[in-house]
Amino acid sequence: MLRFALNGRFTARKLTGQERFARELILELDKLPEAEEFVLVVPEYASSIPELKRIPVVKYGKVKSHLWEQISFYRYIKKNRLLSINLTTTCPFFSPDIVCIHDAAYYEISDLLTKTLYGKLSTAWHRLLAWGSARWAKKILTVSHYSKNRLSEILKISKERIEIIYDAWQHFNRVGYDDEIFSCLPACVKKKEYVLALSSLLPQKNFVWIKEVAKRNSDLQFVVCGKVVNLSSCSEQDLKCDNVHFTGYISDAQVKSLMSNCMAFIHPAIYEGFGIPPLEALSCGAKVIVSNATCLPELYEDSVYYIDPYNYDVNLKELLGKTVAPSEKILKKFDWGREAKKLVKIVKKIRCL
């Protein structure tokens, strides 16, 4: 019997962190006996629908962008008397039901996110949705204890209403390698001799740090995978440096090849809800450098190298000469299948209310 409608707006968006979270959890839900209680509802124009065997997929509504959730998805769940499960922060305002708010960035670093008109509008909209979720959602999910504590304090809701569903990395096992990416890079970028970073160039990802550290480590090459987005007031030109090379948006197979052959993977974010790329890099056997900000020490413990995201005076070779713990413990800590089972337990409790 159908009871829950999975918000499939992510299937019409580019695959980044939150979309990955939704996609992988749903793929794992599809393997469970309880799959028959879920339906994935997607826009009619969805272009990246996961292949599911047990969870039915319904294409419904042609309304674009955020309005699809507020009109089409909302209409569907009310018409069919289903509870909504929203895994990528946004949700129907009047029926959030179960919603994963990945972080509190729109409150804690709003000064960084409101430097453009798009950023101002996006911040206001996400704050409104979070306000509604805090009041009407039956359960709020998030992806780290750090985010749980901050959301509880900021939205003034009890911690008992918030459950943690972690991100994971096993999707990377399905990805092959594409070494052709090296032919697209300058000849000075040699295997095992470059530092790699992967993300959109959102301001909180702190890619200015990479530019400044690259200047101070001029004997190293830095490869940055990602594109400037509307929330950012900077451009690739702003971040340009002789030993920093941008690839733009590339395939997972190309990313995996770069991660497997880098000297180190670096993630200097000043704010993060979780951060999947460092976990993917660890799964490839790469040395990983992350900032000591927000949730990152909680998640990665002593298996990575830490930097201060506001301090540019870092000798990377010296840092990487230090000893860190093996990555096996961290990789075992995060598993999509385990998190999907956790989600089922949560929705079962709500179903019994």
Determine which of 106-115, 173-182, 219-228 has the lowest per-residue pLDDT on average.
219-228
More confident residue, 287 or 352: 287
The predicted pLDDT at position 200 comes to 63
The predicted pLDDT at position 294 comes to 94
Ordered structural domains, the chain, with CATH: 4-168+335-351 (3.40.50.2000), 174-333 (3.40.50.2000)
Average pLDDT of every residue of the chain: 93
Residue 243 has pLDDT above 70, yes or no: yes
Pick the closest to residue 11 from 76, 84, 77, 60 (CA basis).
60
Those residues whose C-beta lies under 8 Å from the C-beta of residue 190, and which sit 6 or more positions away, are: 221
The predicted pLDDT at position 226 comes to 75
What is the distance between the alpha carbons of residues 140 and 158, in angstroms, rounded to a whole number? Answer: 10
Reported as a single tens digit per residue, the pLDDT across 293-311 is 999 999 999 999 999 999 9
Q: Mean pLDDT across the stretch 320-338?
A: 97
Reported as a single tens digit per residue, the pLDDT across 121-149 is 999 999 999 999 999 999 999 999 999 99
Six token digits for residue 194: 């470059």
Residue 220 has pLDDT above 70, yes or no: yes
The predicted pLDDT at position 230 comes to 43
The predicted pLDDT at position 331 comes to 97
The predicted pLDDT at position 2 comes to 79
More confident residue, 238 or 336: 336
Six token digits for residue 139: 């359960």
The predicted pLDDT at position 302 comes to 96
Reported as a single tens digit per residue, the pLDDT across 9-66 is 999 998 888 999 999 999 999 999 999 999 999 999 999 999 999 999 999 999 999 9
Six token digits for residue 321: 């000469």
